[in-house]
Homo-oligomer: A and B are copies of this chain.
Amino acid sequence: MILLSAVEENYLKYIFQLSEISDRGIVKTNDLAYKLEHSAASVTDMLKKLSDKKLVAYKKYYGVSLTKTGLQIAVQVLRKHRLWETFLVKNLKFTWDQVHAIAEQLEHIQSDELIDRMDEYLGHPKFDPHGDPIPDKQGVFSSANVICLADAKLKKQYLLANVNDESSAFLKYLNKIQLKLNDKIKILDKEEFDETIQIMINEKKQMTISKDAAQNMFVKVV
């Protein structure tokens, strides 16, 4: 059991998240630097350290990817983050826009026992308050089969299944327009000019949302 610093854990977590939206799981230095809000030079330094610890495969000027060990750790950090978010919303009655920043701290508490008991206490939830899947103790995610609302088809009935939790502003916007997870969404029209989308919510409320908003929302078919 290698003990990592919170900083190292964050690197692995972000490499994991970026690798999921990159080709062949290769993450570029600058993308990490942007995500972490650090200089590229700092990132290079840390990648060398993580490479020495065999947590990442790093090739100069090419990019970085997680090793098996690195992946396992990254997934466990995500598990902790999402379980804590679930606790904060379900039990402590935080709103979904308030929990990310606190979970960023709590995810680094080192105690397997603690997170196992928390998982048990919460009844082994499969998804967090933003619809993100919570990996189990073995690191297995339950897949949700969602598509981005921006890519969804016209006239089909969907459910809001997952939202991007990292922007409190976006979640507050959803609060304001009273859109929640599991609400029904049907796309009435897409405007070609500015890519705004006309949607019907829960078969009664109609509204227009921007492309930007739609790209942060993920839906599944009913």
Q: Is the interface of A mostly helix, strand, loop or mixed?
A: helix
Interface size on A, residues (CB 8 A): 18
Q: Is the CB of B102 within 8 A of A121?
A: no
Residues of B within 8 A of A114 (CB): 88, 92, 102
Task: Please tell me which stretch of A45-53, A56-64, A105-113 contacts chain B, meaning at least 4 of its Cβ atoms lie within 8 angstroms of it.
Answer: A105-113
Residue of B nearest to A121 (CB): B92
Q: Which of A78-101 contact B (CB under 8 A)?
A: 88, 91-94, 98, 101
CB contact between A102 and one of B88, B94, B102, B111 (< 8 Å): that residue: B111
CB contact between A118 and one of B92, B101, B111 (< 8 Å): that residue: B92
Shortest distance from the beta carbon of A194 to any chain B beta carbon, whole Å: 38
* Residue A54 lies at the interface, judged by CB distance under 8 Å to chain B: no
* Residue A117 lies at the interface, judged by CB distance under 8 Å to chain B: yes
Chain A contacts to B: CB under 8 angstroms: 88, 91-94, 98, 101-102, 105-106, 109-111, 113-114, 117-118, 121
20 residue pairs from A and B, CB less than 8 Å apart: A88-B114, A91-B121, A92-B114, A92-B117, A92-B118, A92-B121, A93-B117, A94-B113, A94-B117, A98-B113, A101-B111, A102-B109, A102-B111, A102-B113, A102-B114, A105-B109, A105-B110, A105-B111, A106-B109, A109-B109
